[in-house]
Copies of this chain bind each other. A is one copy, B any other.
Amino acid sequence: MEPVKLYDTTLRDGAQREGISFSVVDKLHIAQKLDELGIHYIEGGWPGSNPKDVEFFERARNLSLTNSALVAFGSTRHPEGKAETDANLLALADAGVKVVTIVGKSSVQQVTQVLEIALEENLGMIADSIRYLRSRGLTVFFDAEHFFDGYRADPEYSLRVVIVAAEAGADGVVLCDTNGGSIPEQIVTAVAAVKERSSVPLGIHCHNDSELAVANSLAAVSAGVTQVQGTINGYGERCGNANLCSIIPGLKLKMGIDCVSDEHLAKLTEVAHYVSEVANLVPDPFTPYVGLSAFSHKGGLHVSGIEKWVDAYQHIDPARVGSQQRVVVSELSGKRNIIYKAREMGLDIPVQGKEAQKLLEQVKQAESRGFQYEGAEASFELLVHRARPDYQPPFSLVDFMVVVEAKRRPSSRKGYEDTLSEAMVKVRVGKEVMHTAAEGNGPVNALDQALRKALLQFYPSLAQVELIDYKVRILEESVGTGSLVRVLIELSDGVEEWQTVGSSTNIIEASWLALADGLEYWLLKRKP
């Protein structure tokens, strides 16, 4: 089958997801990363609709993209205006890109009930707009909005929209399942009907409202579409856009269709996590191909299966998408999982049957107190070390105290301007007991500062270690503030990252335990 061109709209349609708000710099970084993934087209934004996007295209002129063409998005001309003087079209033509996409309605009801204009007028807007942008020397894609809904209600008009766009010179017409309501059979039928009437290159743009966006996109390719639009991690409004992270390996590994190189594909997981980080969203661990759990094994039976045959419970070699197999330590684990896990982590201590059993009991006990080692492997490794009778910790916690005080200024109605957080900690290192105090930006930060103050005298290299993520999960949610609180933190020394866990009914104590584990882990690793 023909190769497929990938068209990413994370920066425009993806940003419509609730909770996402990209800065211009975020968008520039993501564009660079999409280029590294071998994406063919990157839709950067809608310069006609907001000043942030104008700035993006301005600054994007300095990007050096190897694989990708940047695309500016906009709509067809205003109903009562002319294309040549339409502000939105001019913004597109002046965006400094070679490729633009404009969207227009391709459903009778949308034109008459939402746009509230005549059907012929809509066709005129589409044709004029495409012709004008083509006359400015641009490659023009036309997004036929609501195409599939329109086709089902009144096929003839929707097909006419495509034909009009093609005749006006569109370089491609993208059929949109805007409301995400189509099923694959409907996609295939409609694409076939278009191909009977026009030879214009076709694209597909799906939304995931029926949990079928990936299937619909793949079905459209089978039916002859050669451009697929989607977003990284399937970000997008409502239930999201078609997820390129599943579509790309689906096309390449499942359907044998050329779209990105093997090297590009192996960057998929990295790019997916990068985008979620920039979007300030926790990566969904359960997402296909790129999720942390996508190739993880929890049940004892599965673990014994993969020991005999690595592919027994995985559908592809995870390395193809830049991921890896992973065994999860959890209360469902058998002794075998613990051994497998310790081996996987390259622990040099022997984990024989009896020791593993003891460890398993410790894991179970800790989990009943709210600890969980999924996602906190450094704490698990510490547990392995602590199970050894001869283990000497680099420091041990004695006690701590935290004070948070907020005074409202009499004149202010807007929160506290004099919030003070202080911590005092007592830590034992060898025979010495250190007693320190520090202020901080919040109670956990104050604890972090005080703990470091105590330890830096003995371990100056700790200065390199930085707290880079802090997550809180409330367990037993029905009990409100009296619930068990689990804190997961991530630390980095600039080279590697590691994760630890702490749990308590007291959020400060849980944070303190995770923090201490994080520093202890690093000292342990650096020692020899």
Contacts and interface: CB of A to CB of B under 8 A. Distances in A.
Contact of A314 (B179, B401, B489): B179
B444 A467 contact: no
For the residues of A in contact with B, the DSSP-based class is: mixed
Contact of A504 (B214, B240, B400, B419): B419
Contact of A183 (B255, B444, B470, B480): B255
Interface in A405-448: 405-408, 415-416, 419, 421, 440-445, 448
Given A180-B315, A408-B397, A507-B443, A212 B210 contact: no
Contacts of A402: 402-405, 443
A405 B401 contact: yes
Interface size class of A (residues with CB under 8 A): 35 or more
Given A16-B299, A308-B114, A468-B477, A416 B441 contact: no
B475 A218 contact: no
A246 to B, nearest CB: 4
A126 to B, nearest CB: 18
Copies of this protein, total: 2
Given A21-B331, A239-B286, A299-B16, A441 B482 contact: yes
Interface stretch (A80-88, A350-358, A377-385, A508-516): A508-516
Nearest to A243: B211
B211 A482 contact: no
Nearest to A307: B114
Given A18-B328, A19-B374, 11 more contacts: A210-B250, A210-B289, A211-B243, A212-B250, A400-B405, A440-B481, A441-B482, A441-B505, A444-B481, A469-B480, A480-B489
9 contacts: A149-B315, A215-B215, A239-B294, A400-B406, A402-B405, A404-B508, A415-B509, A419-B509, A441-B505
